[in-house]
Chains A and B, each alone.
Chain A
Amino acid sequence: MRKNIDRIQRNEERKESLIDSLRLPKDICMGAMKVTMTGNREAWIENYRGLLEYTERQILLQGRTCQVCFEGTRLSIDYYTNEDMKISGCISCIRYI
């Protein structure tokens, strides 16, 4: 089991160095989520799969490789489309799970 995790990690590193040397955009090729923040009030998120949970205090998003949790108060979604979304409110914490 431990060996398996090591192998996956090595694979990931190799992939990353390849993408780096080919100068490809990382967010698309690695399926990483792209989060742009203005202070702690607004956040633009691209490259996600879907919304898992939405309350006033927490928004949980499903990405291709991981989940991201925005915590804060008075959170609201300004718009939500297939490509991108905007969260506004008082964001206190972003956690990658």
Chain B
Amino acid sequence: MIRFLKYMKGYLRVRVWGFSPERFMNLCSNKGILLWDIVREGDVYYMNITLKGFWELRPIVKKTGTRVAILERYGLPFFLPKLLKRKMFVAGLFLTIAFWLVSSLFIWDIKLNGNYQITEDVFRSFLKQNQVRIGMRQDELDIEELEKQIRRQFPQITWASARLEGTRLLIDIKENDAPLTTDKPETTSGTDLVAEYDGRIVSIIVRNGVPKVGIDDMVEKGAILVEGKVPVYNEDTTLREYQYVDADADILLEHGMDFTASLPLNHTEKKYTGREKSSHYIKLGDRSWSLPQDRPFLVYDSVIRESRPLMLERLSVPAFWGTVTYREYQNVEYKYTEEEAKAHLNQKLMDFLAELEEKGVQIIEKDVRIERNADVWVLTGEFLVQEPVGKSTETERIEAGETEGNG
């Protein structure tokens, strides 16, 4: 720090000789002139003195009968005029600084965080519509207005925040996790709930519509379970009209279900020989360069690892380097043992059951067998399940005139 201050103020290396250099030093220190690195060689003293102190030396020199000669000049006050002589250099320096300052007024990168459903492309085109683009001036950007626009344009975004970090625009959004509830139109032409399988009704709870089946009824596929046509009666129990509603009910249907899975006895597997070759490449934008290479192995697969230096990532320069590793392998024929085959098939069954469970299907009975045929393992399963059913279909309308006629 002290050295920096000395440099800023400027100092000189001087040679002092004459009658009484010691007195010269005492007077300097009395006047508050800093001297340092004082060395004596023969009758001559060499020392450093501040530039300000040097201007005050004249009376001291006269008084002590010494002589002072400047050997070297150090510091900014001497460096600057020298620098100013090199016009092109100074111009370049100023141009650089100006370029920095000017380019820091623009937005050079836009980063989007927290998007799951909205793709980056969609968001980019939205930003383009709103005149937010890479290379725009920062003061043209109204961040609050942009946040408002985001929320207005994308109803699934519940929270949006945009901020500038240096020359980078960071947009953080939070999407609504719950599915969007779109308002259904008030007037509906009515829908029925229809059975999707043949089976037996186990339970039925109707919220809207007219139930057409009861518990323990056997139904066929396509049969109407709940009708969306609600009759309205007159006081004399004659039918006046139908109101059409969207039928809504929780219905459990018990029905049989089959599942089969098969596994061929033989299969091929990759067996890595352990021999690997790798090559490197550099990518700039969409173009990439690598050393020309022959086909590394007869049969191989490759793994590509790509990275870019941290500094270039910060600057958003699209430059990458990467490594391709080729791994040789041989196709080897294997025959499943019974345990392996069973494990594989059981896994398939488990996946199937998990899928059922996700749909809310309850399994009442199950019967699973694994058998070996000529050249395949076969798993067959029969299940008795209880499954929520009800597919919405359009209600068959009865013409208004006809209804009136009936009424």
Contact = CB atoms under 8 A, between A and B. Distances in A.
Interface of A: 50-56, 76-82
Interface of B: 21-22, 25-26, 28-30, 32, 34-40, 45, 47
A77 B21 CA distance: 13
A24 B403 CA distance: 119
A82 B30 CA distance: 6
Contacts of B22: 50-54
A51 B40 contact: no
Contacts, number: 47
Given A50-B29, A51-B25, 13 more contacts: A50-B22, A51-B26, A54-B21, A54-B22, A54-B38, A76-B38, A77-B38, A78-B36, A79-B38, A80-B29, A81-B32, A81-B35, A82-B32
Nearest to B43: A55
A78 B46 CA distance: 11
30 contacts: A50-B22, A50-B26, A51-B22, A51-B25, A51-B26, A54-B22, A54-B25, A54-B38, A54-B40, A54-B45, A55-B40, A76-B40, A77-B37, A77-B38, A77-B47, A78-B36, A78-B37, A78-B38, A79-B34, A79-B35, A79-B36, A79-B38, A80-B28, A80-B29, A80-B38, A81-B32, A81-B34, A82-B29, A82-B30, A82-B32
A80 B48 CA distance: 10
Contacts of B28: 80
Contacts of A82: 29-30, 32
A80 B30 contact: no
Contacts of B29: 50, 80-82
B220 to A, nearest CB: 105
B36 A80 contact: yes
Contacts of A80: 25, 28-29, 34-36, 38
A48 to B, nearest CB: 10
A41 B327 CA distance: 66
Contacts of B26: 50-51
B1 to A, nearest CB: 15
A79 B6 CA distance: 13
Nearest to B46: A76
Nearest to A79: B36
* Chain A CB within 10 A, most for which of B22, B25, B37: B22
Contacts of A54: 21-22, 25, 38, 40, 45
A20 to B, nearest CB: 31
A55 B45 CA distance: 9
Contacts of A78: 36-38
Nearest to B30: A82
A79 B53 CA distance: 14
Given A80-B25, A80-B29, A82-B29, A56 B40 contact: yes
A76 to B, nearest CB: 5
Contacts of A81: 29, 32, 34-35
